Copies of this chain bind each other. A is one copy, B any other.
């Protein structure tokens, strides 16, 4: 059993973040003995690690809450994963289009002879 400070330090996150996740309903408020201090056991650490990993995969906190409430129903979880996958692929495609446009622009800058007329500015104007 550890206080919120120890827990946060162990997970390398902020104390306020733990309380924030509690307010968001991602974790439940743990028992608070006489002192009024929250006391956490390892199941809390594991839940928080789950949250952090899912977040790192690009799931929003609301989505993390959903994942946690699915209690392992594989079809539901897979469906959410596939949905996220589609979004990721769309984002990649968008960024690749953007990459092409900006690369073309900067290339025409390189080819440009007149330093006071910029092809990028011109193509935006």
Contacts and interface: CB of A to CB of B under 8 A. Distances in A.
Interface of A: 46, 49-50, 53-54, 57-58, 67, 70, 72-75, 77-78, 81-82, 84-85, 88-89, 91-92, 95-96, 98-99, 101-103, 105-106, 109-110, 112, 114-121, 124-125
Contacts of A101: 57
B98 A95 contact: no
Give this chain's copy count.
2
A106 to B, nearest CB: 4
Please classify the interface of chain A as helix (H, G, I), strand (E, B), loop, or mixed, using the class held by over half of its residues: helix
B85 A103 contact: yes
B85 A99 contact: yes
B58 A119 contact: no
A123 to B, nearest CB: 8
